[in-house]
Amino acid sequence: MIRTEALRVFVTVAECGNIRDAADRLFRTQSAVSMTLKQLEQELGASLFEADRKNSLSDLGRFVVDTAKVLLRDHDTAIDQIKHYATGKSGRLRIASVPSVAALLMPEILAAFVKERPTAEIDLVDTNSADVRRLVSTGQADIGIASVAHGDSGLLHEPIFEDSMQLVCQETSPLAHHPGPLEWRHLNDMALILNETTRGIQAVEFRALAARTSLNVRNVISLLAMVRAGVGVTLLPGLATMGLPSTLLARPLADQGCRRQVCLLRREGRVQSPLAIAFQQHFIATLMSMTERFGILWTYKE
Amino acid sequence: MIRTEALRVFVTVAECGNIRDAADRLFRTQSAVSMTLKQLEQELGASLFEADRKNSLSDLGRFVVDTAKVLLRDHDTAIDQIKHYATGKSGRLRIASVPSVAALLMPEILAAFVKERPTAEIDLVDTNSADVRRLVSTGQADIGIASVAHGDSGLLHEPIFEDSMQLVCQETSPLAHHPGPLEWRHLNDMALILNETTRGIQAVEFRALAARTSLNVRNVISLLAMVRAGVGVTLLPGLATMGLPSTLLARPLADQGCRRQVCLLRREGRVQSPLAIAFQQHFIATLMSMTERFGILWTYKE
DNA sequence: CAATCTGGTTCAGCTTTCCTGAAGTTCTGT
DNA sequence: ACAGAACTTCAGGAAAGCTGAACCAGATTG
């Protein structure tokens, strides 16, 4: 059996022209190198050098050096690739995230992550929570960031942070300059536009309000356009209100229990790729240092 | 350190889908395979399979299989090439030979040799003895077949066979039908054409005859054309007379000591390529069984 | 529901391989 | 002829790899 390492020893000796230098380079003793060479020659049944002195190769030796050099190069790059993949330095990662996180938090988080991993390929999809869950559970995304729905089978979720819901209205709205947090009753006279994030609100007062309206807009851009056009007001998580257009305002609610929970989702019973693991660690660690700046409430455990 | 063999074990398990079958294929026990896998996973710091059962790969596992498969393929073909080269099954061999051997013996000898070595590249040059020696001593040929000249420095020669010199004349020549072997004196009245092979003849009687002529023709084709045209007679080794044109005849000489010695030549102090060694063995062995057919006298020792 | 089967892991002990340090050999230049 | 350089050989010890036996955990079955 010809060991790859024996070939490496031989190539090193051929390059150095003598055993001592090769032994130094390989962090072995002369005798170890000598014996490896002898064993290799025995294996091949022919001499690799012209003489005892290792400064001139035999015909066979030249052939073996040439062949072994490309073998070793290929071998080393392949092992390297494997190690990179195994340590999450390369590979492919598909992230599905709700728009607020994708737009406001991800840029900063991903910037540092990809900088350290120039060979990693990362796909970021932003879509609504339900779709994020679908993508993750069907294996089309490796990691999801969304609110959690009970009854999600096959998904593991780890709560990351909470985000208090805010009212979004025109700056000309009567509620715009209302002093202090808004009570539910203040919304009684307003036209309310529902959206995906309002589905998670449990408060009975809100559910009563919601029952009176049938306008439900999915896309955030459209939703804000509606509010801007005076169709009505809506509720959005605090994070999503950070880049609000100038004619709109966000106002806090008095009901502190009215929050959306953002979770990290992954498929159950599935070994994650090292890159996915690395991303999660990076995501948690980076995000933790960003909580204050974005006014979010950290709920991650462990 | 990731061993190539560990990757081979992993790929085999991935292909078999379980350890038992893989162990059988690898001629190892289950436990050995299990431990190798465990060690590999430890080295990579991540799991290669989805579960204990080895029938579904993790993301990392899939990547490693893909990468390792090409690595192993390249590795195996490279090792194979080296082994082929080392055992003389492939490589390049440059043979320089005198025309008589090249034309009459080599076809049969090489036919079998190349048939067993489809990937070997063989160059055969036919030229005169002096040039054969030059090619071998300058390293332009690996093996030479020629008569030996004393004072050849840097050349090793092994005598192979002897060949008795014969007179070549027109069939209309007075000597053509002379009964019994020819004495030197029978040539007294003949015009003699010298050639390279006559240089090696020591007999004083011949040297006296040779002193009287100044016509020396190198190329065998030209030489025979001369004889055919009636310019004179010449002497050639028996082997070279076997394909004589129909109007020419070869006649034996009485002087049994008048022979040319054919040797196998190689460069001194130089390790031969395995293919060259293989060729020599084949050459000697095949030629030995051809001696009678070609009327040559075997002189190879050892 | 216990009994069995299947696929895998762990462990102690053995064998093989590999490496080292010291001593020996061979070549080379002076 | 001698010193030094280059390499080999050898004995002993460390490490790695393999095996057989025992063990474990899920499935399957009478």
Q: For residue A117, give the nearest of A85, A142, A94, A148 by alpha carbon.
A: A85
Q: What pLDDT shows up at residue A146?
A: 94
Token code pair at residue A270: 């599935």
- Are β-strands B91-97 and A155-170 bridged in parallel, bridged antiparallel, or unpaired? unpaired
C-alpha A178/C-alpha A182 separation (Å) is 8
Q: What pLDDT shows up at residue B50?
A: 92
Q: How far is CA B200 from CA B48, B136, B137, B146, B164, in A?
A: 75, 20, 20, 12, 12
Q: What pLDDT shows up at residue A218?
A: 87
Q: For residue B68, give the nearest of B20, B24, B14 by alpha carbon.
A: B14
Is residue A271 less than 8 Å (CB to CB) from chain B? yes
C-alpha B195/C-alpha B240 separation (Å) is 12
- Are β-strands A233-237 and A297-298 bridged in parallel, bridged antiparallel, or unpaired? unpaired
- pLDDT-derived band at A24 (thresholds 50, 70, 90) equals very high
Q: What pLDDT shows up at residue A149?
A: 81
Could you say which of A60, A87, A277 has the minimum Cβ distance to residue B85? A60
Q: What pLDDT shows up at residue B154?
A: 79
C-alpha B106/C-alpha B125 separation (Å) is 11
Could you say which of B50, B78, B270 has the minimum Cβ distance to residue A67? B78
Is residue A87 less than 8 Å (CB to CB) from chain B? yes
Q: What positions of strand C are covered by protein, i.e. any atom < 7 Å from a CB?
A: 7-12, 18-23, 26-28
Q: What pLDDT shows up at residue A52?
A: 81
By CA distance, what is A75's nearest residue in B?
B71
Note the pLDDT tens digit of each residue in B43-83. Answer: 999 999 998 889 999 999 999 999 999 999 999 999 999 99
**CB B292 within 7 Å, strand C:** no
Q: What positions of strand D are covered by protein, i.e. any atom < 7 Å from a CB?
A: 6-11, 17-22
B246 alpha carbon, distance to own chain's centre: 32
> What's the maximum distance between 2 C-alpha atoms anywhere in chain B?
101
By CA distance, what is A64's nearest residue in B?
B82
Is residue B2 less than 8 Å (CB to CB) from chain A? yes
Answer with the residue of higher pLDDT: B8 or A302. Answer: B8
Answer with the residue of higher pLDDT: A40 or B221. Answer: A40
Q: Which residues of A touch B4 (CB under 8 A)?
A: 3-4, 75
Is residue A6 less than 8 Å (CB to CB) from chain B? no
Distance A226 CA to C14 C1' (A): 80
- pLDDT-derived band at B262 (thresholds 50, 70, 90) equals very high
Q: What pLDDT shows up at residue B200?
A: 84
Query: Quick check: A158 and A149 in contact, CB under 8 A?
Result: no
Is residue A44 less than 8 Å (CB to CB) from chain B? yes
Model pTM score:
0.85
Q: Cβ–Cβ of B78/A70 closer than 8 Å?
A: yes
Query: Quick check: B139 and B157 in contact, CB under 8 A?
Result: no
Average confidence (pLDDT) over B248-268 = 92
Q: If contacts are CB pairs under 8 Å, which of residues 190-229 in chain B contact chain A?
A: none
| Residues sharing a CB contact under 8 Å with residue A193, sequence separation 6 or more, in sequence order | A213, A215, A216, A217, A223, A226, A227, A231, A232, A233, A234
Could you say which of B44, B79, B276 has the minimum Cβ distance to residue A2? B79
**CB A54 within 7 Å, strand D:** yes
C-alpha B139/C-alpha B157 separation (Å) is 15
Note the pLDDT tens digit of each residue in A268-285. Answer: 888 899 999 999 999 999
The dihedral formed by the CA atoms of A196, A202, A203 and A205, expressed in degrees to the nearest 10: 60
Note the pLDDT tens digit of each residue in A209-252. Answer: 899 888 999 888 899 999 999 999 999 999 999 989 999 999 99
Q: Cβ–Cβ of A71/B50 closer than 8 Å?
A: no
CB pairs under 8 A between A and B: 103
Q: How many residues does chain A have?
A: 302
Q: What pLDDT shows up at residue B289?
A: 93
Query: Quick check: A118 and A148 in contact, CB under 8 A?
Result: no
Compute φ and ψ for B188, nearest 5 degrees: -50, -40
Distance B45 CA to D21 C1' (A): 29
Q: For residue A271, give the nearest of B40, B44, B57, B7 by alpha carbon.
A: B57
Q: How far is CA B119 from CA B79, B82, B89, B110, B111, in A?
A: 15, 13, 7, 14, 14
Compute φ and ψ for A116, nearest 5 degrees: -80, -10
Is residue B34 less than 8 Å (CB to CB) from chain A? no
Q: What pLDDT shows up at residue B270?
A: 84
C-alpha A29/C-alpha A23 separation (Å) is 6
Q: What pLDDT shows up at residue B52?
A: 81
- pLDDT-derived band at A180 (thresholds 50, 70, 90) equals confident
Distance B142 CA to D6 C1' (A): 29
Q: What pLDDT shows up at residue B91?
A: 95
- pLDDT-derived band at B177 (thresholds 50, 70, 90) equals confident
Token code pair at residue B201: 């003849």
The mean predicted confidence, pLDDT, of chain A is 93
Q: For residue A143, give the nearest of A231, A293, A267, A57 by alpha carbon.
A: A267
B192 alpha carbon, distance to own chain's centre: 35
Average confidence (pLDDT) over B84-108 = 95
A55 alpha carbon, distance to own chain's centre: 52
Distance A35 CA to D11 C1' (A): 15
Reduced to 3 states (helix: H, G, I; strand: E, B; else coil), residue A7 is helix
Q: What pLDDT shows up at residue B189?
A: 86
The DSSP call for residue A101 is I
User: Is the model's pLDDT at A51 over the cut of 80?
Assistant: yes
From the CA of A66, how many Å to the nearest CA of chain B? 10
